[in-house]
Amino acid sequence: MRLSVLGPPGSGKSTQARRISEVCGLAHIYPGELLRLEAQSDSPLARRIREYLDAGQLVPSDIVFYLVEREITHSFDRFVLDGFPRTMTQVLELEFLLSKRNAKLNALILLEVSRNEIMRRLLARGRPDDTQDIIERRIDIFRRETDAVIQFYRQAGILSVVDGEGTPDSVTRRILSALGIESAPPIIHVKETKNTKHISP
Ligand code: AMP
């Protein structure tokens, strides 16, 4: 199964992508995290990435794809992409990579959350790029850049729009149900991490 989870900042996409990866046994490929890790070194590449991250702007696709391609290649049949593809350039890069092996994405999950709820969640989270101005910019960039990506996968017939509000458990259930895997093992086995709260049966 090859999945992608998209959503505006604060939509809970990474929490949900991680849960889905654990429930379904998929590699969790998270460019935002790969970029933050890469940005910690002292190389020219790291400095370049930091400029974009600190400004809340999208990192150029060649850098992102360089990090993501290797991960996809390692887990070609079983992955969930977290926040990728976010632009049409990235769609084309991904589709080309998959088509070389006659493969396709099976589903793209779009998490929908209201702007007020996004602000409430992100100001509580407090990552360095979670100030009010930068959040506003990241929401605008998401709407501007990612709309074409959503339309592309809607036309391809694999888009599922899922309500991202409510408890993390209820959102996970909605996603599994959209994927047609209600009969998956109970999600009480999902591992506890910093971003996943306790899941009641
Ligand atoms: P996220 O953790 O997904 O909210 O991503 C954090 C930041 O990483 C974003 O604001 C972008 O600067 C960068 N980023 C993550 N995914 C991508 C992507 N697919 N393309 C470009 N930049 C990205």
pTM of this prediction?
0.88
* Mean per-residue pLDDT of the chain: 90
Proportion of the chain above pLDDT 70, given as a percent = 91
Q: Atom 3 of ligand 1 has which residue's CA nearest to it?
A: 32
Q: Whose CA is nearest to atom 4 of ligand 1?
A: 9
- The rounded Å distance from CA 182 to ligand 1 centre is 30
Give the C-alpha separation, 167 to 115, whole Å: 17
Q: How far apart are CA 13 and CA 142, in angstroms?
A: 13
CATH of span 2-30+78-200:
3.40.50.300
pLDDT of residue 129: 81
Asked if residue 76 has its Cβ within 6 Å of ligand 1, the reply is: no
* DSSP per residue, 131-168: SHHHHHHHHHHHHHHHHHHHHHHHHTT-EEEEE--S-H
Q: Kindly state the DSSP code that residue 101 receives in the 8-state scheme.
A: T
Contact partners, residue 74, CB within 8 Å, separation at least 6: 27
Residue range 82-123, pLDDT digits in tens: 999 999 999 999 999 999 999 999 999 999 999 899 988 888
Q: Are 29 and 15 in contact (CB under 8 A)?
A: no
Task: Ligand 1 pocket test: pick from 34, 49, 58, 67 the residue with the most ligand atoms within 8 Å of its Cβ.
Answer: 58
- How does residue 128 score in pLDDT terms, banded at 50, 70 and 90? confident
Task: Tell me the CA–centroid distance for residue 143 and ligand 1, in Å.
Answer: 13
In what helix (H) or strand (E) does residue 109 lie, and over which residues does it extend?
A: strand 107-112
Size of the chain, expressed as the number of residues it contains: 201
- For residue 197, the model assigns a pLDDT of 45
pLDDT at residue 198 in the model: 42
Residue 1 C-alpha to ligand 1 middle, in angstroms? 23
Ligand 1 atom closest to Cα of residue 35: 8
Residue 188: is its pLDDT beyond 80? no
